[in-house]
């Protein structure tokens, strides 16, 4: 009889705990549902707003859309922004729900993910505007070189574009905290190696080629002027 009473008391305590926990569970479920609806609305609003300001034109001209499509993505960069906004809202609602349930470990993990998503937003913006600026500088350098009749205008434009792109990618990686100092040091080492290789090639085997290129780029059109001899003054 005493054992039956003990089992009854433990069952009653468990039922009371479940009943006390049930309102939290209902609140968490409501938060998740509201967050899901808000996420869908936010994704639609951000996508429409970006397309209204012709943001896809910028990402298409910068080459970022083509890069994403070659990577296997069905949408463009605007779609990626909408998806990021969607999942940011979903994760924020899950964070509130798990915080209401008292799951501190899951809350800490989700909070790190939530704070990481805005960095991805900024990195994508840096890549979009940086790639567009790199292509703009390529066209500008090529146009200038052709206007002054400089040889290898396409090569110089590509070099300017790739140099800016490397700097832009470095900023984007630093924004999402990928690699950190290792990426920056590796980039500097690689850049130093390329510069050293080019200098070594010019110094050892490219003297004639460099002289020919310099002569093509900056030809000596004007010779040194011939100074006529001074006339002798008439003697009085």
Q: Is residue 234 part of a domain?
A: no
Residue 144 and residue 109: Cα distance in Å, rounded?
52
Provide the 3-class DSSP secondary structure of residue 218: coil
Give residue-wise pLDDT tens across range 107-132.
Answer: 887 888 888 888 888 888 888 888 88
pTM above 0.75, yes or no: no
- The size of the chain, in residues, is 236
207 shares a domain with 174: no
Which position has the higher pLDDT, 117 or 81? 81
Which position has the higher pLDDT, 69 or 200? 69
CA dihedral sign, ordered 24, 25, 29, 32: positive
The total number of structural domains in the chain stands at: 2
pLDDT band at 216 (very low <50, low <70, confident <90, very high): low
Q: Is residue 58 part of a domain?
A: yes
174 shares a domain with 196: no
**136 burial class (0-12, 13-18, 19+ CB within 10 angstroms)?**
middle
Spatial contact of 65 and 138, defined as CB atoms under 8 Å apart? no
Give residue-wise pLDDT tens across range 134-143.
Answer: 888 888 888 8
Written as one string, the DSSP assignment of 159-214 is HHHHHHHHHHHHHHHHHTTSSTHHHHHHHHHHHHHHHHHHHHHHHHT-HHHHHHHH
112 shares a domain with 79: yes
Q: Is residue 203 part of a domain?
A: yes
pLDDT at 94 over 70: yes
Q: Alpha helices, DSSP H only, in the chain?
A: 2-52, 55-62, 64-70, 77-101, 104-147, 153-175, 181-204, 207-217
Q: Is residue 227 part of a domain?
A: no
Instruction: Kindly list the distances between the CA atom of residue 110 and the CA atoms of 74, 82, 100, 121, in Å, as whole numbers in the listed order.
Output: 27, 20, 14, 17
Residue 47 and residue 1: Cα distance in Å, rounded?
68
Q: Is residue 235 part of a domain?
A: no
12 shares a domain with 111: yes
pLDDT at 236 over 50: no
Lowest-confidence region among 55-59, 66-70, 79-83, 92-96 = 66-70
Which position has the higher pLDDT, 15 or 53? 53
166 shares a domain with 81: yes
Domain boundary, last residue among 178, 199, 231 = 178
pLDDT the model gives residue 149: 73
pLDDT band at 36 (very low <50, low <70, confident <90, very high): very high
172 shares a domain with 185: no
91 shares a domain with 57: yes
77 shares a domain with 160: yes
Tell me which residue range forms the domain holding 17.
Answer: 2-178
60 shares a domain with 164: yes
142 shares a domain with 39: yes
pLDDT the model gives residue 223: 45
163 shares a domain with 59: yes
pLDDT the model gives residue 3: 56
Place of tokens 């990402």: 59
109 shares a domain with 12: yes
């Amino acid at each position: 009889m005493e054992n039956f009473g003990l089992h009854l008391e433990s069952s009653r305590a468990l039922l009371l705990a479940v009943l006390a926990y049930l309102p939290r569970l209902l609140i968490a479920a409501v938060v998740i549902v509201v967050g899901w609806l808000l996420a869908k609305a936010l994704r639609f609003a951000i996508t429409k707003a970006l397309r209204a300001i012709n943001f896809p034109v910028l990402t298409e001209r910068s080459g970022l859309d083509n890069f994403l499509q070659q990577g296997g993505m069905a949408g463009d960069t605007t779609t990626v922004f909408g998806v990021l906004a969607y999942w940011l809202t979903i994760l924020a609602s899950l964070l509130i729900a798990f915080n209401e349930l008292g799951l501190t470990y899951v809350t800490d993990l989700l909070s790190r993910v939530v704070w990481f998503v805005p960095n991805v937003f900024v990195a994508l913006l840096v890549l979009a505007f940086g790639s567009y600026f790199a292509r703009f500088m390529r066209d500008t350098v090529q146009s200038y070189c052709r206007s002054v009749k400089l040889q290898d205008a396409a090569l110089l434009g590509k070099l300017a574009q790739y140099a800016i792109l490397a700097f832009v990618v470095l900023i984007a990686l630093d924004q999402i905290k990928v690699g950190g100092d290792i990426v920056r040091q590796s980039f500097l080492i690689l850049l130093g190696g390329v510069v050293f290789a080019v200098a070594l090639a010019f110094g050892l085997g490219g003297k004639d080629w460099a002289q020919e290129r310099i002569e093509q780029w900056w030809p000596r059109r004007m010779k040194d002027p011939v100074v006529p001899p001074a006339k002798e003054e008439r003697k009085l």
